[in-house]
Amino acid sequence: MTSLRSFLTPDKPEAPQLISVSPLAAMPGGEIEVYGSHLSPHGSHIPRATIGDVASPVILSRSTRATIEVPEGTISGELVLHREGSSSNALDLRIAVPMAENLHPVSNPAVDADGNVYATVSGSRGQSVPVAIFQIQRDFQIRPFVRDLLNATGLAFGPDGHLYTSSRAEGTIYRISPEGIVTTYAEGMGVATGIAFDRDGSLFVGDRSGTIFKIAPGSASGASGEIFVFATLEPSIAAYHLAFNDAGTLFVTGPTTSSNQAIYAIDRDGNTTVFFQGLGRAQGMAFDVDDNLYVAASLHGQRGIIRIDPHHQASLAISGNNLVGLAFLEDGCAALATRDALYHVSLDIEGRRVY
C-alpha cells in the first residue's frame, strides 16, 4: 500500500505566508520589513519578491522576517514573496511617486488653500538661481512662482493667504502674494531657516545660530509687527525646522552632529523642554489631526519619516533616504521633500490645518 507521504515532494518548501509589512509606505530606495512564516532561503536559493510587476531585491531572509529593497520605478501595489515555485499571499504596499524633480528643498514644502504645493530651489549659500520657488499644481503640473530670491529656505502660508519664505543668506523674511509678487516682511533674522505661524497669526523664525524669533502679526499693508527673541537653543549645522500642534506648542528640530538628537517643545511662554530624544539628523515636521508628529529623521538606523505619538512612542512611518520634510495634503496624501525632488504618497492620514 502506497502512503500519502510518497506522493509528496520532500524537498519542495512550504509556501511563504505573509502577516504584516513595516512600514506601510516607502520611498524608492527605501527598505521594508516583512513578517510571516517560511520566509527563509531554501538550500542556496534566496526568496524573490515582487511589488506589483517589479522585481524587488531581498536583502535579508530568515524564517519569520525578510528585508526587501524598493527599486526605483516601483509604484504602489501588492507585495508577494516567491520561494522555489511557491508564492505567498499578497500584502498592499504604498510607494511614493515623483511629483517634481530638479528642485532643492531644504525644509517642508508648503500647501495653499487650493491644494497647490510649493517647493524651493534653495541652492548653496549665496548662490543665485533662476527660479527660487516652484508651484506644483494638483495635476502635478509645475510652474515657476518666484524668481530672483536668494536662498529661499523655509516656507509657510500665513492667515492672509500669502506665502512667506526665509532667506538664510540675507536673514530676511519675504511675503509673497498669490500672484508671486515679493515684498520684504522682516529683516535681521540671522541665518533665517525654518518658519511657522501660530494660531494668532504670529510668525516664528528659527535662526540656526540658536535663536527663535517671534514676529507679531503684521498690518493690513503687509508690514510686520514687533520682533523679539522667543527662545534660544543650541546652534544647528543646517537649519531649524518649526511646527505647531493644536495646543499652540512650538516644536523645533535642528540637525547637529549628534546621532541622539532631540525634538524641543516650547510652550506659549517660551519655556523649552525635550519632547523626544534619540533621532538622527531630525529635520522637517508635520502634525496630523490626532496630534501625532511626523518628522524626517532616522531612528535606530532606519531613515525616513518617523511617527511619534502623543505618548512619545516612535516608529517608522515611511521608509526612505534623503528626506528633509513633508506636508500633508487634503486628500489623506502627503508631499515628501528630498534634497532634489518632491514625491507624492497616499497615507490615509488627515493632516493638521497649518495656519
Phi-psi region of 145 (alpha: psi -120 to 50; beta: other; left: phi over 0): alpha
Domains, the chain: 16-95 (2.60.40.10), 97-346 (2.130.10.10)
Alpha carbon distance 101, 136 (integer Å):
11
Provide the CB-side half-sphere exposure for 93 (13 A, CA).
37
For residue 147 the three cell numbers come to: 524668481
- DSSP annotation string for 209-245: TTEEEEE----TTS----EEEEEE----SS--EEEE-
In b/e form, how buried is each residue of 206-240, taking b as 16+ CB within 10 angstroms? bbbebbbbbbebbeeeeebeebeebbebeebebbb
For residue 191 the three cell numbers come to: 541665518
**At which residue does the C-alpha cell 526568496 appear?**
47
Q: Give the pLDDT of residue 94.
A: 98
Check: CB of residue 125 under 8 Å from CB of residue 153.
no
Q: Give the pLDDT of residue 11.
A: 57
Q: Give the pLDDT of residue 7.
A: 40
Q: Give the pLDDT of residue 258.
A: 79
Grouping H, G, I as helix, E, B as strand and the rest as coil, residue 118 is strand
Assign 3-state DSSP to the chain and report helix, strand, coil percentages, each to 5. 0, 50, 50
Q: Give the pLDDT of residue 300.
A: 93
- DSSP annotation string for 290-353: T--EEEEEEETTEEEEEEE-TT--EEEEEE-SSEEEEEE-TTSEEEEEESSEEEEEE---PBPP
Alpha carbon distance 323, 107 (integer Å):
9
pTM for this prediction: 0.93
Provide the CB-side half-sphere exposure for 297 (13 A, CA).
34
Q: Give the pLDDT of residue 85.
A: 86
For residue 154 the three cell numbers come to: 523655509
Check: CB of residue 51 under 8 Å from CB of residue 124.
no
**At which residue does the C-alpha cell 527663535 appear?**
212
Check: CB of residue 70 under 8 Å from CB of residue 77.
no
Q: Give the pLDDT of residue 185.
A: 96
First to last CA, the chain: 79
List the chain pLDDT tens, one digit each, 355 residues. Answer: 444 443 444 456 789 999 999 999 999 999 999 999 999 998 778 899 999 999 999 999 999 999 999 999 999 999 999 998 899 999 999 999 999 999 999 999 999 999 999 999 999 988 989 999 999 999 999 999 999 899 999 999 999 999 999 999 999 999 999 999 999 999 999 999 999 999 999 999 999 999 999 999 987 677 888 999 999 999 998 899 999 999 999 999 998 877 799 999 999 999 999 999 999 999 999 999 999 999 999 999 999 999 999 999 999 999 999 999 999 998 999 999 999 999 999 999 999 988 7
Alpha carbon distance 160, 189 (integer Å):
21
